[in-house]
Amino acid sequence: MSKLLKLARASGTPIIDHQTVTFVWEGERAPVLIADFTDWENDPIQLTRVGKKTWTYEVDLPKNAYIEYAFIDLQSNKRFSDPYNPRSVPNGLGDVNHFFHMPDASPNPLTRRAKGIPKGEISRHLVNTGELAAGKQRRVYLYHPPTSPPCPLVIVLDGNDYLRRGKLTQILDNLIAQNRIQPVALAMVAHGGKVRGVEYLCSEATIGFLLERVLPLAKRELNLVDLAGEPGAYGIMGASLAGLMALYTGLRQPQIFGRVLSQSAGFGFEERDFVVKDLVRYLPKRAIKIWMDVGIYDCFLSVNQGMYDLLVERGYQVQYREYPGGHNYSSWRNDLWRGLEFLFPPFREKNLSFDFSREHER
């Protein structure tokens, strides 16, 4: 038995030595490796035989990276579990990915609510969709922060995923208790399932649904600040196509949604830009404040870089960050607190200057 295989059996996989990561497979044949750093199936990696039943692949990665990966037979599309790595997470598409943290990375501690801190309440509701969204009803989860004064509302697209996989309410409870953000309320709106893409690809119907169905529910059930006195006080957030829809909604309704949190947004496909780019380029500048983040291994990295450059060129208040990860909820929840702190600091902002520099962590 090879030394690598013995080490894999004893210590688990992948084997990490400073920045060098070694994937190990045991068997007569080896599947291919797909991962955040291969753009998944777009650039799969063939493992190299180094022993009778030992196959490996070695790569250098940032020391603070979070990485997801899988072994797969591309012909049958069958995935194989890594027997020496028990750490796995659903990928949101019906499959499971293995994951690991590099030496300088760790899970976001804010996802575990600290002992003894006030806990916000979550209530579940159904709203009628009418002709504005798929299905007859749509589920909305409301988060009532553990405070009594009126507070801003944040509409969360893909709200069911941010609630469960993104641990959003636990993060908020901790940030509010630590006085790192002002209290905010949430309306976490479930997506439309198979028609999610249709609803989030810059849809005016979706904006109508949020304004005519979701906002009245939130105003009725939550103690919110008055938009008449504080125009643009509300926020909207989402990831991937929902990140696209978040920015689109902010540009179309800045008097309501003046704060946009956009993670790994799909601003274009196959060199085709969506209309949101034209809104930024040709409309008068909107009074909105924007947070953007995206992984260095994300398929939407280049379109986010392009959108950030355009927003800066047009004079928008925007903060942008690239993190060492890919396109997944674990990466988004690890970075989420930064955007919340930027958009909802625990004080009133008056005549502040904003940092337009692009922040890289490689």
Per-residue pLDDT of the chain (362 residues), as tens digits, is: 578 888 999 999 999 999 999 999 999 999 999 999 999 999 999 999 998 889 999 999 999 999 999 999 988 999 999 999 999 999 887 899 999 999 999 989 999 999 999 999 999 999 999 999 999 999 999 999 999 999 999 999 999 999 999 999 999 999 999 999 999 999 999 999 999 999 999 999 999 999 999 999 999 999 999 999 999 999 999 999 999 999 999 999 999 999 999 999 999 886 788 999 999 999 999 999 999 999 999 999 999 999 999 999 999 999 999 999 999 999 999 999 999 999 999 965 443 333 333 444 33
| Angle, vertex CA 154, rays to CA 304 and CA 203, nearest 5 | 55
Position 70 scores a pLDDT of: 97
- What is the sign of the dihedral through the CA atoms of 237, 252, 256 and 128? negative
Residues linked to residue 140 through DSSP beta bridges, in sequence order: 125, 189
Asked if 185 and 153 touch (Cβ cutoff 8 Å), the reply is yes
The topology under which CATH files domain 8-101 is Immunoglobulin-like (2.60.40)
Position 354 scores a pLDDT of: 34
Contacts 24+ apart (CB under 8 A), 303-306: 303/265, 303/266, 303/267, 303/268, 303/273, 304/264, 304/265, 304/267, 305/358, 306/267
Position 52 scores a pLDDT of: 87
pTM, two decimal places: 0.92
Distances (CA, A) of 296 to 38, 55, 333: 12, 27, 16
Instruction: Report the candidate in 14, 108, 12 with the shortest Cα–Cα distance to residue 60.
Output: 14
Q: Where are the domains of the chain?
A: 8-101, 111-360
For the segment(s) 111-360, the CATH number from 3.40.50.1820, 3.40.50.300, 3.30.110.30, 1.10.1040.10 is 3.40.50.1820
Position 360 scores a pLDDT of: 42
Position 358 scores a pLDDT of: 43
Position 264 scores a pLDDT of: 98
Residue with tokens 């949604």: 257
